[in-house]
Chain A
Amino acid sequence: MSRKEYERLFEGGPPQEGEEDAMVELLSLFARAAGLRRAARDLAEEELLEGAFVEEEPSQELAPVRLAAHDAGELAMYAAGPFRLRLSRDDDGTAWLCQEEGPAGLTVELGERRLPLSPEREVEAGAMGSLPAAIRAWDAAGRRWRLVRE
């Protein structure tokens, strides 16, 4: 009962007649404003943690010159049907996946993880020891694909 009574404050209800009920209704108005503010804060925090709109640091300005030879073994292309993926790995072992060709709606499977991709958008694929020989994926219609390293 205590729970319902407290939670009803945040839900509101029809206007009440008695003076005491009207006071509770005022508190309910206050609670609903507070509930919305809490939701706004939680939503903003969650989108921050999701990394919404985060782009990688533009590094051209100060990064040391990197030769193409340095990338050997850290970048591979995978293809099957209309799809082509680029998988790269940072110095710290973090892998990045980007769908370079093919229609939207592709989801890849990497170990235990399933990563939905968007064309030409790079996503973090977690730590990876070595680049695999093939990647399994589903397209938007649920068809399975095996993208093989080129």
Chain B
Amino acid sequence: MTDRGGLTDELPELVAAFVQEPSSPAARPLLDQVQRHVARASRSYPDAWFVLGRKDSEAVTDLGHRVFTTCAQVPKGRFPFSGRPPFVAFVHEQFEGRAIRYHAFYAKLSITREIMRDDYARNLVRDPVLRWRAELYRRIGQVLKERCESERVGEGQPPRWRLPGGRPSVARAPEVVVARLRQEGPRELPELVLRALELGGPQSQSRLTGIVEGVRGAPAVEAPPEPVESAPDHPTRMLVRRAVLEAWTALSETERDLLVSVARGDSYDELVARCPHFAHKVAVTRAISRVGQGFVHRVLLASSAELPATPGARPLELVELVLEVLLQVLPELHAGLPEGDRP
């Protein structure tokens, strides 16, 4: 055991014993330590960052189990894991307890926080109020790209956006900017974004989203719609999966390229960077028409025809289910996606 000023640190030895023999008696106390640190690292997060959008003991315990499983079994490409499951990397690198806790729980990019990020991203799509926030973020992004300038602020930090042409701005705390904007009365979104930058100085897109949300207020909470289904092996998902695979094989390479970009939500610039032939108008027109008819319509028809039990599930919910299945079943889509979007 590591001696740290008279205190002992069992964590490195528990991890080592578990990696050597997963069924060893070390597994239980190791899981207990993981649960304890996950609970501590996640305590400042709001509901939206937890699975099903609820922060309760069940959700925190579930998170702890997923952190444990990820550390034990899921190879991670980034530093310091280099393609190894985190527990294995901790043993190989002979990390002391403090370093293990840092990378597994407390670092800004820890395993725990990455899993929470993925839960939050899912909630942003599924919860009606959070969905409004994601849509607001998207629309603010359009305003920023069209009317503002971005600047990089450092490694591992999102870009900051500033007013064009070096227009002056003052740095103020976000709550002060929100209060000022409320006083000044309602504005259209583009003007609100520019004024927020003028009052608060350069901001990231997510902080601007928080400011605009603070000014306008999120919509009232509605009852969430009934889920189409969620179990991975549910027959609905199997039907959609089959329809997706059949329709995919009917597409040409060019059409698949377009579908991949659409499904990933790529911008036009990202599409052309990946597939330069889409710089020509005719290529886009043809592919859009063919993918609309040969894939989306075909999959929806095939799925709908066999889905008498889910009459309320279309078209939008069914489209989202198709999208989810598509992202899971086509390995071509996974290249270049963050780890959290991979099955």
Q: Name A's B-contacting residues (CB within 8 A).
A: 1-3, 5-7, 9-10, 20, 23-27, 29-31, 33-58, 61-65, 104-107, 114-118, 138, 140, 142
Contact present for A37 and B265 (CB under 8 Å): yes
Query: Among residues 277 to 307 in chain B, which have CB atoms less than 8 Å away from a CB atom of chain A?
Result: 278-281, 283-285, 288-289, 291-293, 295-297, 300
B117, B172, B266: the one within 8 Å of A116 (CB)? B172
Contact present for B172 and A140 (CB under 8 Å): yes
Nearest A-chain residue to B137, judged by Cβ: A43
Q: Name B's A-contacting residues (CB within 8 A).
A: 4-7, 9, 40-41, 43-46, 49, 97-98, 101-102, 105-106, 108-109, 113-114, 117-118, 120-122, 124-125, 130-131, 133-135, 137-138, 141, 156-158, 170-176, 200-201, 204-207, 209, 262-268, 271, 278-281, 283-285, 288-289, 291-293, 295-297, 300, 315-316, 319-320, 322-323, 338, 340-341
10 additional A-B residue pairs with CB within 8 Å, beyond A30-B263, A55-B43: A2-B284, A6-B284, A26-B297, A41-B338, A43-B209, A49-B156, A49-B157, A57-B106, A65-B5, A107-B170
B102, B133, B288, B316: the one within 8 Å of A9 (CB)? B288
For the complex of A and B, the 3 pairs showing the least CB-CB separation, nearest first, are A38-B265, A64-B5, A40-B124
Q: Which residues of B contact A3 (CB under 8 A)?
A: 268
Contact present for B268 and A107 (CB under 8 Å): no
What's the Cα separation between A100 and B190 when bound, in Å? 36
What's the Cα separation between A142 and B341 when bound, in Å? 44
What's the Cα separation between A29 and B174 when bound, in Å? 35
Nearest B-chain residue to A117, judged by Cβ: B173
What's the Cα separation between A4 and B286 when bound, in Å? 14
Contact present for A33 and B176 (CB under 8 Å): no
What's the Cα separation between A79 and B334 when bound, in Å? 54
Q: Which residues of A contact B108 (CB under 8 A)?
A: 48-49, 51, 54
Contact present for B134 and A36 (CB under 8 Å): yes
| A62-B7 contact given A6-B268, A47-B206, A50-B204, CB 8 Å threshold | yes
Contact present for A46 and B206 (CB under 8 Å): yes
Contact present for B296 and A23 (CB under 8 Å): yes
Contact present for A53 and B141 (CB under 8 Å): no
Q: Which residues of A contact B271 (CB under 8 A)?
A: 6
Q: Which residues of A contact B105 (CB under 8 A)?
A: 57
- Looking at the assembled complex, report how far the CB atom of B289 sits from the nearest CB atom of chain A, in whole angstroms: 6
- Looking at the assembled complex, report how far the CB atom of B125 sits from the nearest CB atom of chain A, in whole angstroms: 5
What's the Cα separation between A54 and B116 when bound, in Å? 12
Nearest A-chain residue to B174, judged by Cβ: A116
| A41-B288 contact given A33-B316, A36-B138, CB 8 Å threshold | no
Most buried by A among B117, B265, B284, B323: B265
Q: Which residues of A contact B265 (CB under 8 A)?
A: 10, 31, 34-39
Contact present for B173 and A33 (CB under 8 Å): no
| A39-B297 contact given A50-B206, A50-B207, CB 8 Å threshold | no
- Looking at the assembled complex, report how far the CB atom of A44 sits from the nearest CB atom of chain B, in whole angstroms: 4
- Looking at the assembled complex, report how far the CB atom of B201 sits from the nearest CB atom of chain A, in whole angstroms: 7
Contact present for B288 and A55 (CB under 8 Å): no
What's the Cα separation between A106 and B171 when bound, in Å? 9
B97, B102, B158, B319: the one within 8 Å of A30 (CB)? B319
Nearest A-chain residue to B124, judged by Cβ: A40
Q: Which residues of A contact B5 (CB under 8 A)?
A: 63-65
| A44-B121 contact given A3-B268, A50-B206, CB 8 Å threshold | yes
What's the Cα separation between A138 and B106 when bound, in Å? 33
Q: Which residues of B contact A7 (CB under 8 A)?
A: 267-268
- Looking at the assembled complex, report how far the CB atom of A16 sits from the nearest CB atom of chain B, in whole angstroms: 11
Q: Which residues of B contact A43 (CB under 8 A)?
A: 121, 124, 133-134, 137, 205-206, 209
